[in-house]
Every structure is written in C-alpha cells, then in structure tokens.
Amino acid sequence: MASSDWFNLISGLFGGLGLFIFGMKLMSEALQKSAGQGLKKALEKLTSNRFVGTFVGLVVTAIIQSSSATTVMVVGFVNAGLMNLSQAISVVLGANLGTTVTAQLIAFDIHALALPAIAIGMILKMFSKDVTKQYWGEILLGFGMLFIGMEIMKDGFVPLRKTDGFRDMFVYFSSNPVLAVAAGAFLTVIVQSSSATIGITIALATTGLIDFYGACALVLGENIGTTITANLAAIGTNRTAKQAAFAHFLINFLGVVYMLFILKYLVEFVNFLTPNDADFVAADGSKPYIARHIANLHTMFNMINLVIFLPFIQYLAKICEVMVKPDKPDENRMVRLSDNIMSTPAIAVEQAKREVLRMSGYAGNMVEATRKYLVSGDESELGNVKTCEGYLDTFDKEISAFLVKLSMKNISQNSASQINRMHHIVHNLEKIGDYSESIFNSIKKIKKKQIVFSPEANEELRNIYEVVERFYKQTMECFVSGSNNIDTEDEDIIDSMRKRFKKNHVKRLNANECTIDAGLIYVDILNCLEKIGDHTFNIAQVLMTSESAPISKPH
C-alpha cells in the first residue's frame, strides 16, 4: 500500500473512532445531565431487593447509554453507605444488560439520520435558552456523530480486506477465541468504553474482515474490559465499594469463562433466532446482516449471565468479601473523595456534600468542646479542639481542590450551583473552626493565669453559647434536608447579646467585680462567638438563596 493510502486508512480509522467515542460521550453525558438527578434517586431508593435493583440498573443504563456511568454511581453509593454489597451486585447485573441497548442501536442502519440529527442538535444547543432543550441538542449531536463515526470507521476498514496480514490476523481470532477474548478486553481497557469497542467489532465484521464466531469472542472480551472503569473509580474508596467494583469484574469474567465452553452453541442459537445469515457476503464484500447478530449475541450473553447469577448474589457478595481484604490503617484517607468518581458528576456532587457534612461535624464539635469547659468546667473534650482544627484545614484544602476539578467537567447547571454553594460553606466552616481555636487559646490563658469569671459572666456565656449552638445545628440540619426555610433571627440575637454583655462587663469592671485580664479574655470570647454566628449566617444565606437537595442517609 502506498504511503498516501496508509495515511488515508489511519486517518479514517482513528478519525472515525474519535467521532464515534466523542459522540457516545456527548450523548451519554447529556442524558446524565438531563435525567441524572432522577436516575440517581431511583438508584438510591429503588434497590430494596435484587429484582428491583436489577430492573433499576437495566433502565438507568439503557437511558444514559453507559454501564460504566451506572457502575461508577453504584461504587459511589456503596462508598457513601447508601447501598449494601448485595444491592450493588443486583444493579450491576441490570447495568450489564442495559448497556446492550447501545449495540442494538448501532446495529440499526440509520446513518442517514445522522446529519439531520446534527443539524437539529446544533440549532437546539446554540439558539435555545431552555436548558432542557440544550441537553436534547447535545443528545442529538452525539447521536449524529456516533453514526457518522461508525460509517467512517467502516469505510476505513475496507482497504484492509486486501491486506493479507490483517486478514490473517482476524482469521486467527476465529480459530483462537481465547486470544480474541484477550484482545477484546485489552482494547476496551485502552479505549475505556465497551460501546466503542463493540462499534469497532461491528465495523470490522460488517466490512468482512472477521466472521461472526471471531466477533463473538471479541465481544466477550469487551465485557471483561469494561469492568476496569468501576475498579478505577473504586481506588481511594472504602472496602465495600472496592468489593462492589470487584463484583462487576467477577460476574463478567466468570460469565466469559463458562461461555467460552458453549460459545459454538450460543453462536448457533443466535443465528437461529436472528433473521438472515450472519456471514452472508454481499457483492461489495460487506456483511450486511452481521451487525444485528453481534448485537443479539451481546444481549444474549448478558441476559444469560443475569439469569445464572441473580439467585446467587449473596454467595457472590461473600466471595468478594473474601477476595477484597480490608485496607491497611495507613491507607485510609480522612477525606473520602476520589477523582475517579468525577466521570459521573451527580455522584461526585453527592459525595462532596457528604464530606462537607462530615466537616461540619468537626466544626460543631469544636464549638461544643469550648462551651462545655467555659459553662460547666468539663475538660473531657477540650483536647480534641486542636485535632479538629487540623482536620478542618485538611477538609478545606481537599474538598476545595476536588470541587475546583469537578467544576471543570461538563456538568449541569444544578451541579454547578451545588458546587458553588459548597465552596462557600466549606470556607465558612473553616472560619468557624478558626474562631473556635481562638476561644481555645483564650481558655489556655484562663487556665494558665487561673482566671475566674464572675457568676454573671458565666451565665451570660451560657446564654450566648446556647443561641450560637442552636443556630449552627439548625442551619446544618437544613443543609442535610435540603430545606431553605431557615430562621436567621438567632443571628440578630447573638449580635444583641454581645453588645449587651459587653456593656454589662464594663459595669462590672467599673464596680471592681472583675479583673482587667478576665475582662479582656471575656470580651475576646464574646467577639469570637459573634463571628461564629456571622459565619453560620453566611452558610444560612447560601442555603436560602439557592435550591438545595437533601443529603441521602446511609443504611
């Protein structure tokens, strides 16, 4: 082949593949953005038993056109404690079957609709102000690019029919299905999309480079390779989440192993069910019917897997528990966020919200620990203040960095709004920790100089602490519930108390009822408590001025 022919060949193959993958990605992400919140809630709530979980996994994956996205969601839910391992496995089984819709879609010869879809999609995306219509524009653009990419790939493979080396390699796959499985798995790991590799397989088969038996073996391998996405997403998560990701690999791997023994019979069965001969060669050297046969075999494989493994979910869970060992203590991270879950922004946002909630717990503990000492002399939790302050610094840095990265993804307006809200909340929580640490430093001075407040001052501290803690707890409860109905009257009460108590302090000072050292520390504590109230009010304002969503409770 001349160098120009090779250039055109490579350009066609990789250009077509690039368009196909980009179209699939664009369509999947747009579907997730338009339906992500509802589908996320369905996954979270409708998995009470294995049959419901399987059905939900199937439907969600069929809608968003990505089993990888569904399994990453599952890993995120398990890591957050919203789903147990058995529920996760049932959803994964459904997702495996749901993802076969993509192959069925590709098998339809509807490339003539690609350009009209792109035209309509472009109009909706560029000229519509309705966000939902813009999402539909992205869906249509992705749909059109997918089929144009598919046609370019098919055309790119045509010259390879005349190249003995390539033809012999694919013939070798037909006689060595294990090697074809390995090739399919490896290609899917590289491309990071089983839909893309299914598309490549269909393009190869339609062009006539590979027969139906060899294509089936490639498809089996692609079902193993697709599990790498969930396992990558499980890096940095807890043990149960890693077990859920491993279950995805185990189901597909075991399914391929036993399927290799009966592959010949499965191929014959699919040929029997599907009209026309898969390996019929048209006058132009193409195989016009093989795409539907490949899609049907993909569906049949995952359907058989579902029927076989569904009754044994509990045993699969036990195997995963044995195979995936607990993390070593030094591998546990304080902040449970992993960049791998960013591929599914709805889950990434949910995880970030849960970490913000954990951060708020440390800030609340600091306020409570200082109150216990100043109001009742209880030192039991005072030693935790410094530790919690260090935790807050870590949460601030890691959550903020995570949110910045997440905001750069292709996310919905709702997700962008939630990310912006969390940025403000994290900043104010860190400030609350700083002022609690300042109170802790004042307490150290009290202990060192053996300062004693007057009974009136102690009572005033008790009163203002009660309002500060009440306001803080109410605000964070609204963050959890997603409510924006927050009573901010406590912020005015705290300001009023600080002014009144400072006047009372001046009167006591003039009456020689307290020392100057005691008075200075007392006023510092009042000022810090007012600042804590101010930053709590900032959080309340953020929650009140934007639509929120409840944080899901763990099981």
How many Å separate Cα 258 from the centre of its chain? 32
Query: Is the pLDDT assigned to residue 82 strictly greater than 80?
Result: no
pLDDT of 417 higher than 90: no
Q: Taking 70 as the threshold, does the pLDDT of residue 123 lie above it?
A: yes
Convert the pLDDT of each residue in 311-325 to its tens digit. Answer: 999 899 999 988 887
> Cα separation of 89 and 325, whole Å?
18
Query: In this predicted structure, what is the pLDDT of residue 399?
Result: 94
Q: Which pLDDT belongs to residue 83?
A: 76
Question: What is the signed CA dihedral for 355, 358, 359, 364, rounded to 10 degrees?
Answer: 160
Q: Would you state the pLDDT for residue 305?
A: 92
Q: Lowest-pLDDT range, 338-347, 502-511, 513-522, 534-543?
A: 338-347
Under the phi-then-psi rule, with left for phi > 0, alpha for psi from -120 to 50, and beta for the rest, what region is 179?
alpha
Tens-digit pLDDT profile for residues 272-294: 999 988 888 888 788 888 999 99
pLDDT band at 165 (very low <50, low <70, confident <90, very high): low
- What's residue 525's pLDDT? 93
Asked if residue 423 has pLDDT above 50, the reply is yes
User: What would the pLDDT profile of 189-232 be if each residue is shown by its tens digit?
Assistant: 887 777 788 888 888 888 888 889 988 999 999 989 888 877 87
Mean pLDDT value across the chain: 83
- Count, residues in the chain: 555
Sign for the CA dihedral angle at 96, 28, 154, 184 comes to: negative
Higher pLDDT, 401 or 110: 401
Show Cβ contacts of residue 271 under 8 Å, excluding neighbours closer than 6 positions. Answer: 212, 277, 278, 293
How far are the Cα atoms of 121, 133, 152 from residue 138, in angstroms, in the given order? 6, 9, 21
What per-residue confidence (pLDDT) applies to 397? 93
- The CA distance from 439 to 231, in Å, is 45
pLDDT the model gives residue 147: 83
Dig out the tokens for 8 from the structure.
């055109």
Q: What is the pLDDT of residues 31-54, one digit of tens each?
A: 767 665 565 666 656 556 778 888
Token pair of 159 as six digits: 């010259």
Distance, in Å, from the CA atom of 240 to the CA atom of 554, rounded to the nearest integer, reads 13
How confident is the model over 236-262, as a mean pLDDT? Answer: 88
Q: What percent of the chain has pLDDT over 70?
A: 88
Q: pLDDT over 90 for what percent of the chain?
A: 30
Binned at pLDDT 50, 70 and 90, residue 436 comes out as very high
CA distance 479 to 543: 7
182, HSE (Cβ side, Cα atoms, 13 Å): 5
> Tell me: the pLDDT tens digits for 462-504?
999 999 999 999 999 988 888 878 888 999 999 999 999 989 8
Question: What pLDDT band is residue 552 in, cutting at 50, 70 and 90?
Answer: low
pLDDT at site 139? 85
Which whole-number Å values give the CA distances from 55 to 48, 261, 347, 383, in the listed order? 11, 28, 20, 50
